[in-house]
Amino acid sequence: MTGWILPTKALISTKMTQKDLQDRRFYKAKQEAKFAKDLTPETPQTLSKSYKLAFQDSEFLLREELRPVRFQLELLKPEMLLDEAAVASTLVIYGSARIPAPDAVDALFTNATDDRERTIAERMKEKSQYYEEARKLAQLASSSHIKDEDGKRHFVVCSGGGPSIMEAANRGARDVGADTIGLNIVLPHEQAPNEYVTPDLSFRFHYFALRKMHFLLRARAVAVFPGGFGTFDEFFELLTLVQTGKIEPMPILLFGKQFWERVVNFEELMLEGVISPKDLDLFQMVETAEQAWAEIVAFYDLEECD
């Protein structure tokens, strides 16, 4: 039986011809967009909003009916760019946007005008040590230089991209010359990425849900520092996902036993019967970056190499 053999790739012309079976027949969207810009005459028809290419029409993309498309775009863009950047897994660091660095604590006492504000200043001073611990943890993870056989990187430090603990995380990675990710969110008040986020790995989200998904899609360990509503939201959602078996267990490291036991009574939750005793093993309390990194190393049975 006689068959046909296509010419090898080396013999196929790079210039499109009718005989090149493996060449694409449609122009890429980027090329079509250039045609639309350069070759379209100005007439009442072409100047109408209806004539815009749909993917270039921001007013159309922002319509209520296009929300599912915007969901997909916000899922795809970071996923594709992180994949192109060879990021296989991340160490996610959650924490407050308000805890000052140790060298900025004195200003809180200076500005305190009553007992409540002085108490807040004292508590902030207690927690200021965690700025440095977040920075050290990021340094340890980023210095590990763990890559898989495909050259993809593991435990790339990822934060919310904002100030305080998030800044410390990105700063620690930058200290050792490593790339680091920031996942910012659009808020009614301006929030710019901190200066330590790798520019090409700085992402901005409209939807909290998609942002939280990206925090966990590549996460292989999560460090949770003292924080407020946002930190609690992210932490308890992670616990729920692991508790219910929606994601595999991973190291979940709570920095600051005194803080967490003061603001959340996990033991009472268990005694009330609303969580089980084994749920208390979903996370570990730590105080230092070295303790946290040791937990991660032990969990994944990592071996240090030169």
Does 267 reside within a domain? yes
How would you classify the pairing of strands 156-159 and 181-185? parallel
Q: Could you tell me the CATH number of the domain that includes residue 248?
A: 3.40.50.450
In-domain check, residue 189: yes
Concatenate the DSSP letters of all residues of 197-244 into one string. Answer: S-GGGEEEES-HHHHHHHHHHSEEEEEE-S--HHHHHHHHHHHHHHHT
d(CA 117, CA 266): 28
In a domain, 33, yes or no: no
- Structural domain containing residue 248: 70-103+129-300
Say which residues have a Cβ less than 8 Å from residue 143's Cβ, sequence separation at least 6. Answer: 176, 178
Bridge partners of 264, per DSSP, are none
Mind listing the pLDDT tens digit for each residue in 155-171?
999 999 999 999 999 99
Give the total number of structural domains in the chain.
Answer: 1
- What is the predicted pLDDT for the residue at 12? 47
The answer to whether residue 40 sits within a structural domain is no
pLDDT digits (tens, 9 = 90+) for 48-93: 999 988 999 999 999 999 999 999 999 999 999 999 999 999 999 9
3-state secondary structure of 290: helix
292 DSSP 8-state letter: H
- Binned at pLDDT 50, 70 and 90, residue 22 comes out as low
Query: Does residue 119 fall inside a structural domain?
Result: no
Residue 242 lies in a domain: yes
Residue 16 is predicted with a pLDDT of: 52
Cα distance between residue 296 and residue 252, in whole Å? 9
Angle at CA 224, nearest 5°, toward 222 and 226? 170
Residue 190 lies in a domain: yes
Amino acid at 182: G
Q: Is the dihedral of CA 50, 56, 59, 65 positive or negative?
A: positive
Minimum mean pLDDT among 4-13, 145-154, 211-220, 273-282: which range?
Answer: 4-13
Mean pLDDT of the chain: 91
Question: What is the reported pLDDT for 104?
Answer: 84
Residue 5 backbone zone (phi > 0: left; psi -120 to 50: alpha; other: beta): beta
**pTM given for the model:** 0.88
Judge whether residue 17 has pLDDT over 70. Answer: no
